[in-house]
């Protein structure tokens, strides 16, 4: 029985042979596809390892592209993470804002809001955001992130103003109430992620309900 001819690939290497396509024969993906692959790859890496432990090579490997492709499209890990966080913010807040403003009453919108900012799915968002911020707090705020947070704050203010105008709430200063609410959300989210002391999702929601009850003159929920 004769073996494979010299230089022929051994059995089981077909997959490797297919991957080793000559550069001039490779199918080049559109720029936006490659950028999206890179941005999608960085999120689970940061959540698992932390932003400070993720490098360009890690991102390239996870995205299935070369290091050169990553550096061609982005100036470094910080730029990739900043853009990925902007996308995450939009995906997190935009649907929630639409749901709460579509509720028949502003009071129902508040319930949707409270349940939306703390749920089984939101820890991922908070971990990504805080890790991005903590990785280099000296950086100037990203304009895209800043704009998206302003839009979110506007949606919360719109909900509160709607309830006030319809007589559901009493609120002397919608802007101030909105600022305090968002600050409380951020603080509770950080405490939940740190776990010192532990804070459950329902406990975080209860803090928000108590705040809004007092701030908006609502009837306390039955114990």
The two structure tokens encoding residue 103: 């509720």
Residues 118 and 192 in one domain: yes
The two structure tokens encoding residue 123: 């820890």
Given a cut of 50, whether residue 68 has pLDDT beyond it is: yes
Given a cut of 70, whether residue 198 has pLDDT beyond it is: yes
For the segment 13-31, the average pLDDT, to the nearest whole number, is 46
Residues 214 and 172 in one domain: yes
Residues 91 and 53 in one domain: no
Asked, for residue 40, whether it belongs to a domain, the answer is: yes
Higher pLDDT, 175 or 120: 175
CATH of the domain at 131: 1.10.357.10
Residues 55 and 159 in one domain: no
Q: Write down the pLDDT at residue 128.
A: 83
pLDDT band at 89 (very low <50, low <70, confident <90, very high): confident
Q: Write down the pLDDT at residue 186.
A: 93
Residue span of the structural domain in which 57 resides? 29-75
Asked, for residue 148, whether it belongs to a domain, the answer is: yes
C-beta of residue 81 within 8 angstroms of C-beta of residue 132: yes
C-beta of residue 201 within 8 angstroms of C-beta of residue 115: no
CATH of the domain at 43: 1.10.10.60
The two structure tokens encoding residue 73: 């499209």
Asked, for residue 18, whether it belongs to a domain, the answer is: no
Question: For all residues of the chain together, what is the average pLDDT?
Answer: 83
Asked, for residue 19, whether it belongs to a domain, the answer is: no
Q: How many domains does the chain have?
A: 2
Please state, as a whole number, how many other Cβ atoms lie within 10 Å of the Cβ of residue 106. Answer: 23
Alpha helix (H) residue ranges in 54-200: 56-63, 67-73, 77-101, 106-117, 122-135, 143-165, 174-194
Residues 210 and 103 in one domain: yes
Asked, for residue 64, whether it belongs to a domain, the answer is: yes
Identity of the highest mean pLDDT range in 12-26, 32-46, 104-118, 189-203? 104-118
Q: Write down the pLDDT at residue 78.
A: 85
Given a cut of 60, whether residue 9 has pLDDT beyond it is: no
Residues 54 and 142 in one domain: no
Residues 42 and 134 in one domain: no
Residues 64 and 118 in one domain: no
Higher pLDDT, 128 or 200: 200
Residues 213 and 174 in one domain: yes
Q: Which region among 86-95, 99-108, 123-132, 188-197 has the lowest average model confidence (pLDDT)?
A: 123-132
Q: Write down the pLDDT at residue 136.
A: 60
Residues 102 and 172 in one domain: yes
pLDDT band at 171 (very low <50, low <70, confident <90, very high): very high
Residues 44 and 150 in one domain: no
d(CA 18, CA 148): 43
pLDDT band at 140 (very low <50, low <70, confident <90, very high): low
Residues 70 and 92 in one domain: no
């Amino acid at each position: 029985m004769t073996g494979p001819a010299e230089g022929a690939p051994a059995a089981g290497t077909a997959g490797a042979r297919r991957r080793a396509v000559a550069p001039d024969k490779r199918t080049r993906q559109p720029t936006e596809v490659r950028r999206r692959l890179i941005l999608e790859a960085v999120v689970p890496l940061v959540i698992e390892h932390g932003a400070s432990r993720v490098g360009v090579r890690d991102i390239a490997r996870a995205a299935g592209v070369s290091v050169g492709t990553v550096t061609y499209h982005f100036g470094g890990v910080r730029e990739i993470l900043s853009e990925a966080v902007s996308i995450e913010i939009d995906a997190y807040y935009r649907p929630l804002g639409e749901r709460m403003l579509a509720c028949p009453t502003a009071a129902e919108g508040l319930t949707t809001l409270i349940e939306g900012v703390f749920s089984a799915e939101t820890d991922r968002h908070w971990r990504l955001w805080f890790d991005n911020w903590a990785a280099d707090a000296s950086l100037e705020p990203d304009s895209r992130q800043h704009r998206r947070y302003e839009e979110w704050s506007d949606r919360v203010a719109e909900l509160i103003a709607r309830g006030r105008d319809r007589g559901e709430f009493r609120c002397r200063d919608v802007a101030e109430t909105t600022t305090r609410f968002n600050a409380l959300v951020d603080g509770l989210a950080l405490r939940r992620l740190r776990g010192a002391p532990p804070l459950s999702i329902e406990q975080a929601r209860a803090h928000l309900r108590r705040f809004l009850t007092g701030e908006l003159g609502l009837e306390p929920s039955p114990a």
